[in-house]
């Protein structure tokens, strides 16, 4: 009886902590100091040119409360390591050809469009112009092409969590990014594991992966082709609330890939800023940035569609 009582109390305590940890946290001096302490002191690849990176942080659709936290975290990574400087963007003009050319890489910071069209560029045009529907459609397609061309010609692209939905109904965009968002069950504790613990992009996790509370993302469209080098995965049979059958128990939730002369890095982790308490995750982000700008060389050959 006593053992049952202890187990029940433990369940209540852990459940309370877990629920509490999902509450948005404020960006305070204490939180910033914590991230500063957790961030790497130097980049993995040293003595490189200081890179210029655009962090696009506008979300006309679902707003992830971690958007400003990601901005501050990226500022700290850049300043502390000296590897890059970031510029924050919110306007659609950032996707003009001449403006994209200013940067070595673009980070899409949870730039979620609205549904059901899920077209970020159309959303931004509707908010900020008086164009007709046909003009918006034409102009939005041009902005999408600008981004595709930017990466194909050598620009880096890092996609954070929900920004995988940026052009969610565009197959050509999905082929560039490696996949599109399908759905996610409820937030829950996930043990994220390395696909290959020896790969340079996951060295930060030291073969132990990452356990945290997150949204377990599932993907569609180009994802089925596995035209990327997977980095992290989750096991479906360990999740609650899965509503669709899957062919494989492994769902890849982070990957890298080439697109023309450019490089793409996608990380589904993380929906919650609490995950930034993990120095391993911050180092993972830093290594991903160094990959997309071309400083960190590693195997990015595609896994390929399984037979």
| Residue 160 in tokens | 């954070």
What is the pLDDT confidence band of residue 1, given thresholds at 50, 70 and 90?
very low
pLDDT digits (tens, 9 = 90+) for 143-175: 999 999 999 999 999 999 999 999 999 999 999
pLDDT greater than 70 at residue 5: no
Q: For residue 49, what is the DSSP state? A: P
Side-chain half-sphere exposure of 148, counting CA atoms within 13 A:
15
pLDDT digits (tens, 9 = 90+) for 114-130: 989 999 999 999 998 88
In the block, residue with structure tokens 């506008």: 58
Q: Please tell me the distance from the alpha carbon of residue 11 to that of residue 9, in angstroms, as a whole number.
A: 5
pLDDT digits (tens, 9 = 90+) for 206-254: 999 999 999 999 999 999 999 999 999 999 999 999 999 998 999 999 9
Three-class secondary structure of residue 132 per DSSP: coil
Domain range annotation of the chain: 29-292
pLDDT greater than 70 at residue 300: yes
CATH T-level assignment (fold) for domain 29-292: Rossmann fold (3.40.50)
End-to-end CA, the chain? 53
Q: For residue 167, what is the DSSP state? A: B
pLDDT for 298:
98
**How far is CA 227 from each of CA 116, 164, 168, 177, 292, rounded to the nearest angstrom?**
26, 15, 17, 9, 16
Do 249 and 140 contact (CB within 8 A), yes or no?
Answer: no
Do 244 and 300 contact (CB within 8 A), yes or no?
Answer: no
pLDDT digits (tens, 9 = 90+) for 107-117: 999 999 998 99
What is the pLDDT confidence band of residue 14, given thresholds at 50, 70 and 90?
very low
CA dihedral 188→278→62→265, nearest 10 degrees, is: -110
């Amino acid at each position: 009886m006593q053992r049952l009582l202890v187990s029940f109390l433990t369940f209540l305590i852990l459940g309370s902590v877990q629920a509490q940890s999902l509450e948005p946290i404020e960006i305070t001096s204490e939180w910033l100091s914590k991230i500063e302490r957790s961030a790497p002191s130097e980049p993995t690849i040293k003595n490189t040119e200081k890179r210029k990176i655009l962090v696009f942080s506008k979300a006309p659709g679902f707003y992830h409360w971690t958007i400003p936290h990601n901005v501050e975290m990226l500022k700290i990574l850049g300043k502390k390591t000296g590897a890059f400087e970031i510029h924050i963007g919110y306007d659609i003009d950032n996707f003009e050809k001449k403006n994209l050319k200013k940067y070595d890489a673009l980070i899409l910071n949870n730039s979620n469009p609205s549904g059901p069209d899920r077209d970020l560029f159309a959303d931004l045009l509707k908010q900020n112009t008086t164009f007709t529907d046909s003009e918006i459609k034409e102009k939005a397609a041009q902005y999408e092409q600008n981004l595709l061309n930017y990466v194909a010609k050598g620009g880096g692209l890092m996609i954070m969590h929900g920004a995988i939905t940026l052009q969610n109904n565009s197959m050509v965009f999905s082929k560039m990014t490696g996949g599109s968002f399908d759905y996610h069950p409820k937030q829950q504790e996930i043990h994220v594991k390395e696909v290959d613990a020896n790969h340079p992009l996951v060295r930060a996790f030291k073969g132990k992966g990452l356990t945290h509370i997150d949204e377990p993302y599932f993907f569609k469209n180009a994802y089925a082709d596995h035209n990327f080098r997977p980095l992290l995965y989750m096991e479906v049979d360990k999740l609650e609330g899965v509503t669709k059958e899957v062919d494989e128990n492994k769902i890849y939730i982070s990957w890298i890939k080439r697109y023309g002369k450019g490089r793409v890095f996608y990380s589904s982790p993380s929906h919650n800023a609490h995950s930034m308490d993990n120095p391993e995750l911050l180092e993972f982000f830093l290594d991903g940035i160094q990959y997309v700008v071309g400083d960190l060389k590693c195997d990015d050959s595609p896994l390929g569609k399984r037979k």
